Amino acid sequence: MNLNNYWIKRAFELENSNFVKSEETIKRLNASYLRIAKNLRDEVNKIQDKIDNINIIFLDDVQAYKYRQKLLNDLKNKIYDEYRNLSREEINVTTKHYKDVIENTYKNISEYLGSIKTDASFSMLKTDAIQDLLSIKWLGENYSDRVWKNTNLLAKKMEDILLDGTVSGKSIDFMAKQINKMMRVGSFNCERLIRTETNFFHNRTTLKAYKDYGIEKYEFLATIDSRTSHTCNKLNGQIFHIDKARIGVNYPPMHPFCRSTTVAYFEEEQLQQEEKDSIIKEWKGIKNNANYTKKESVSILKNKYGIDFKDSRKYPIDESILNECVSWLDAFNDEYSNFMKVNPCKIPIIANYPDSKMKNSVGYYSYYSNNTKVVELALNAKYHSDKDYFRQYLDYVKGNHSVANAESIHTFVHEYGHHISNSMRWISNNYNWQSEFISECIKEYNDKYNTSYTSYREFRNIVSIYGASAESELFAETFAEFYGGKSPREFAIIFGNKLNKILKGLN
Ligand SMILES: [Zn+2]
Ligand SMILES: [Zn+2]
């Protein structure tokens, strides 16, 4: 697939995901409009009853008149109360939704722009930047002004209809119909507002990302379906300078309910070159072993990383393996210093345990799932005390049970991969971080190699049998392939490039 086409496909997918996100918000507010219609119908019923009985209660005309005015005034207040509450609810609910749209859009666009523009790195939007975007006025108003305006207008119309009807003695049936009609108008206006503002925030955030990443041109993309307007159809495929972008003129939304979007535009050669330049084929940290003595390694772990090293007395760790582990950690620490700083999960102990304590595993990473505490990273001394034996074992499993480039650092890096995944769960404040990350890698792989994998279970040949045993193992195995050895394969390269950007973008 041509890369420009690939980004166009993603741009449409992103627009659609924001469109689908609106659904729930619209549904929830529709229910509120229905609820208010019901409240008002009940109220009209009650008041009509009281008005019908006025002449029975009051003999005095003046008193009756006054009482009637009071009832009408109560009705009026009720109408405005209901709509005031509705406005507040609508603003609350939609603000949450628009924030979500802005975050989702910026994250998505940054990922793709970050993968093309080598000088920029993936980043999240800061809270005040989201606030800035939310308060942008467009055609003289922002969304909350529009909500107030819509509901005020609706309350005014409702007041006219209901007071008029009550005074002139219209039937309850007639009034109920009027209330329902106004409710539908309100509900429709609310949906139109949410659809249009969602498109506005989606595209406005995209424009901000283009500017942040120094993009020069964009292409207008109309969602071609039966409802595509003439204006959008005409703009479809046209290319404009970012500086010249004007919402409603050459940048969407062009009209209410608009679903058009844009994509960053690159000249084909520029795209291919930048894409080529930016892909990391191999992690540079794998080569630099430091020649630490065992004593030095232990002291670096303690003093630089706050990690205690617990060795097996009977089967002490091989000095060069420990050196590889610590050198690797140094390289990782240098490359991802921000990650190391912001990570709330700290490994307190690296242990080299006798086989009897390891229950047949070559290593493990143990942590708490409900807090940031890590128990330990353990290595099996049967393998780690004897490099030759470990190598023989690896020769036997690699390229099949284990990844193709497994070397004596493999188990340590694999377990460290589990640590990265656990840490990212807390740093991103997203319990499903690993799942989402793996899905994105699979999707990218499918797009690039024209395959249709859906689950970690299908990655036996692409990663390893062990990697296909669980999603967490696919993460750890692929992590080990990219960060722990030479010449990682295609899936590991996609994984590594993606993770690299995320880890570098933390601040
Ligand atoms: Zn349109
Ligand atoms: Zn594992």
Q: How far is the CA of 73 from the centre of ligand 2 (A)?
A: 71
User: What is the per-residue pLDDT for 78?
Assistant: 92
| Strand segments (E) across 303-354 | 308-310, 349-353
> How many residues are listed for the chain in this entry?
507
3-state secondary structure of 128: helix
Two tokens, residue 122: 């993936």
**Helices 490-505, 410-427: crossing angle, 10 deg rounding:** 50
3-state secondary structure of 369: coil
Average pLDDT over residues 467-494: 96
Residue with tokens 């959008």: 232
Domain boundaries, the chain: 3-276, 284-505
User: What is the per-residue pLDDT for 361?
Assistant: 92
Amino acid at 36: I
Residue with tokens 């429709």: 188
Angstrom distances, CA of residue 452 to CA of 312, 400, 442, 447, 468: 46, 22, 9, 8, 16
The pLDDT confidence band at residue 140, using thresholds 50, 70 and 90, is confident
Q: How far is the CA of 418 from the centre of ligand 2 (A)?
A: 7
Q: Looking at the CA of 475, which ligand is closest?
A: 2
Q: How far is the CA of 451 from the centre of ligand 2 (A)?
A: 26
Q: pLDDT averaged over the chain?
A: 90
Highest-confidence segment of 36-50, 98-112, 277-291, 363-377: 363-377
Q: Looking at the CA of 254, which ligand is closest?
A: 1
The pLDDT confidence band at residue 409, using thresholds 50, 70 and 90, is very high
* Whole-number percent of the chain with pLDDT over 90: 69
Number of Cβ atoms within 10 Å of the Cβ of 179: 23
Q: How far is the CA of 471 from the centre of ligand 2 (A)?
A: 10
User: What is the per-residue pLDDT for 228?
Assistant: 66
User: What is the per-residue pLDDT for 366?
Assistant: 96
Helical (H) or strand (E) element with 225: none
User: What is the per-residue pLDDT for 117?
Assistant: 60
CA–CA gap between residue 473 and residue 468 (Å, rounded): 7
**pLDDT of residue 444 exceeding 50:** yes
Q: How far is the CA of 377 from the centre of ligand 2 (A)?
A: 11
The pLDDT confidence band at residue 459, using thresholds 50, 70 and 90, is very high
Helix count (H) and strand count (E) of the chain?
18, 7
Q: What is the pLDDT of residues 254-290, one digit of tens each?
A: 999 999 999 998 876 666 666 667 788 888 887 778 8
Two tokens, residue 60: 């005095």
**pLDDT of residue 168 exceeding 90:** no
Q: What is the pLDDT of residues 105-115, one digit of tens each?
A: 998 888 878 76
Is residue 107 a contact partner of residue 75, using CB atoms and an 8 Å limit?
A: no
Q: What is the pTM of this model?
A: 0.58
CA–CA gap between residue 461 and residue 477 (Å, rounded): 12
